[in-house]
C-alpha cells in the first residue's frame, strides 16, 4: 500500500496532501525517534474501525467519510482508548506523553502525540494493541524514522512491540515474517483455494499436478513481483472480479473436459491474474525499504508453500470423501460424480464472488 509512504513523506517535507483512503482493519503509524530521545507518533485508522472499537458514531458509510464535529465530540473517548492501547517506554519506565490530538482525516482519524524518553533508560520501545486487541486479524504498519533512515515494521495480535533504539530487524527475521505472511494469505484467500482445488480435480497422477502448480507459481510470481515493485499495477476493481471469473471458468470447464494434462497452460494464464491479487495483499502490508527484494521473495515462497500444502491436503481429502459417500464401486463413475459435485459448489461460489465484486467495483 503506497499511500502511507506518500503521506508520511509529505509530513516530513511539510507539504500538504489531500486526505487519502484508510483501509479497514489496518492501522498505519509513523514513529519518529529524535537524537534527544523524543518520540513522535502519528497514527491513522478508518472511521468505521474507530466506531466499532469505542462505540462512537463518527463514520458515515453513505459518504465514506467521518463527520469532523462527531470526531471532535468523541475526542476524549478516542484519547482514552489510545492511552490504554498505545505507549512508548524507555526500559521498564513509561516515557512522558505530551498533549495528544485527534483530527478528522477524510474517511478516518489521525492521532498525534509525542513522548519524552530522555529520563528513561534502556531501549525505547513502541507498544500498540490499537485495533488488534479487538480483532486478531487486524494489522498495524509502523514506519520508523530515525534521522534520514526509515524502516518498516508490522504489528499484529502476536507481536505488539517495536524496539526503536535497536538496529533494524535482521534480514532473516524480515524474511521469516514475510514468508509466514505469504502462507497466511494463501490459506485465508478462499478464492485462491477454490481455484487451486477446481483446477486439479480431474488429476489422478502426480505429474499433471506438479505441472499445474509449477505453472501457476511461475505466473503469479511474475505479476506479483511486477505489481509489488510498482512496475505494472492493475486496480483491484479489475483484478478481483477477474479472479472470481477464473474460478467460475475452471469449475465449469470440469463438466466438459477431463484433459488435466494440458491444464498447466490455463493455470499459467490465470496465475498471471492471481498474482496481481497477491500483490494487492502485499501492498497493504508494504515492503521494507531496506530489504524489498528479499521480503518479496519470502512472501512469494510463503504463498508457494501454502498452495502446495492446500493441494497436498485437498486431493487425499476428496478421495476419502469419494469413498465414504459413494456406494457404486465403479471407479470412473465414482470419480466423475465427485468432480461434478465439487465443481458445482465452486462455480456457485465463484459466481457469487464475481457478482459481489462487480457491484463493489
User: Left if phi > 0, otherwise alpha if psi is -120 to 50, otherwise beta: which for 99?
Assistant: beta
pLDDT at 185 over 90: no
Least confident of 12-21, 180-189, 226-235: 12-21
Task: Write the CB contacts of 105 (distance below 8 Å, at least 6 apart in sequence).
Answer: 19, 22, 44, 66
pLDDT at 2 over 70: no
DSSP state of 21: P
Crossing angle between the packed helical segments 206-228 and 263-285, to the nearest 10 degrees: 40
In the three-class reduction of DSSP (H, G, I as helix; E, B as strand; rest coil), residue 209 is classed as helix
pLDDT in tens, 220-257: 999 999 988 889 989 888 999 999 999 999 999 999 98
pLDDT at 48 over 60: yes
Determine the Cα–Cα distance for residues 143 and 7; give it in Å rounded to an integer: 11
Q: Which cell numbers hold the place of 134?
A: 479487538
Task: Find where cell 462505540 sits.
Answer: 55
Determine the Cα–Cα distance for residues 197 and 312; give it in Å rounded to an integer: 10
Specify whether the CB–CB gap between 138 and 22 falls below 8 A.
no
What are phi and psi for residue 129, nearest 5 degrees? -120, 20
Whole-number pLDDT of residue 326:
60
- Residue range 150-166: mean pLDDT, rounded: 86
Beta bridge partners of 94: 89
Determine the Cα–Cα distance for residues 355 and 347; give it in Å rounded to an integer: 12
Specify whether the CB–CB gap between 243 and 273 falls below 8 A.
yes
- Tell me the percentage of the chain whose pLDDT exceeds 70: 88
Closest by CA to 43, choosing from 99, 113, 124, is 113
Pairing between strand 101-105 and 108-116?
antiparallel
pLDDT at 18 over 60: no
Task: Find where cell 464472488 sits.
Answer: 353
Determine the Cα–Cα distance for residues 154 and 159; give it in Å rounded to an integer: 8
Cα 317 to Cα 74, 87, 201, 208, 341: the distances in Å are 51, 47, 12, 18, 14
Task: Find where cell 478464492 sits.
Answer: 191
Least confident of 181-195, 200-214, 316-330, 339-353: 316-330
CA atoms within 13 A on the CB side of 119: 7
Give the confidence band of 325 by pLDDT, cuts at 50, 70, 90: low
- Tell me the percentage of the chain whose pLDDT exceeds 90: 47
Q: Taking the model in full, what pTM does it have? A: 0.57
Q: Which residue has the higher pLDDT, 144 or 8?
A: 144
Amino acid at each position: 500500500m503506497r499511500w502511507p509512504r506518500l503521506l508520511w513523506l509529505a509530513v516530513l517535507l511539510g507539504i500538504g496532501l489531500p486526505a487519502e483512503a484508510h483501509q479497514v482493519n489496518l492501522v498505519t503509524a509513523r514513529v519518529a525517534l529524535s537524537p534527544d530521545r523524543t518520540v513522535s507518533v502519528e497514527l491513522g485508522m478508518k472511521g468505521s474501525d474507530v466506531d466499532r472499537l469505542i462505540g462512537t458514531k463518527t463514520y458515515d458509510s453513505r459518504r465514506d467519510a467521518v463527520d469532523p464535529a462527531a470526531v471532535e465530540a468523541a475526542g476524549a473517548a478516542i484519547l482514552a482508548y489510545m492511552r490504554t492501547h498505545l505507549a512508548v517506554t524507555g526500559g521498564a519506565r513509561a516515557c512522558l506523553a505530551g498533549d495528544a490530538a485527534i483530527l478528522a482525516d477524510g474517511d478516518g482519524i489521525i492521532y498525534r502525540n509525542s513522548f519524552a524518553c530522555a529520563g528513561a533508560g534502556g531501549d525505547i520501545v513502541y507498544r500498540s494493541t490499537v485495533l488488534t486487541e479487538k480483532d486478531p486479524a487486524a494489522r498495524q504498519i509502523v514506519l520508523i524514522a530515525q534521522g534520514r533512515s526509515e524502516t518498516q515494521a508490522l504489528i499484529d495480535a502476536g507481536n505488539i512491540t517495536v524496539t526503536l533504539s535497536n538496529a533494524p530487524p535482521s534480514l532473516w527475521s524480515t524474511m521469516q515474517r514475510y514468508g509466514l505472511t505469504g502462507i497466511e494469505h494463501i490459506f485465508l484467500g478462499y478464492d485462491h483455494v477454490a481455484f487451486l482445488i477446481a483446477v486439479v480435480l480431474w488429476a489422478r497422477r502426480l505429474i499433471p499436478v506438479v505441472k499445474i502448480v509449477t505453472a501457476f507459481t511461475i505466473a503469479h510470481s511474475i505479476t506479483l513481483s511486477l505489481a509489488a515493485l510498482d512496475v505494472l499495477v492493475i486496480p483491484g476493481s479489475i483484478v478481483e472480479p477477474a479472479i472470481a471469473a477464473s474460478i467460475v471458468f475452471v469449475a465449469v470447464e470440469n463438466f466438459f473436459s477431463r484433459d488435466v494434462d494440458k491444464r498447466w497452460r490455463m493455470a499459467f494464464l490465470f496465475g498471471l491474474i492471481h498474482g496481481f491479487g497477491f500483490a494487492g495483499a502485499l501492498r497493504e502490508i508494504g515492503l521494507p525499504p531496506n530489504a524489498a527484494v528479499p521480503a518479496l521473495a519470502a512472501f512469494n515462497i510463503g504463498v508457494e508453500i501454502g498452495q502446495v500444502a492446500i493441494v497436498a491436503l485437498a486431493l487425499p481429502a476428496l478421495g476419502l470423501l469419494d469413498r465414504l459417500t459413494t456406494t457404486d464401486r465403479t471407479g470412473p463413475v465414482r470419480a466423475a460424480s465427485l468432480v461434478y459435485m465439487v465443481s458445482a459448489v465452486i462455480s456457485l461460489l465463484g459466481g457469487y464472488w464475481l457478482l459481489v465484486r462487480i457491484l463493489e467495483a
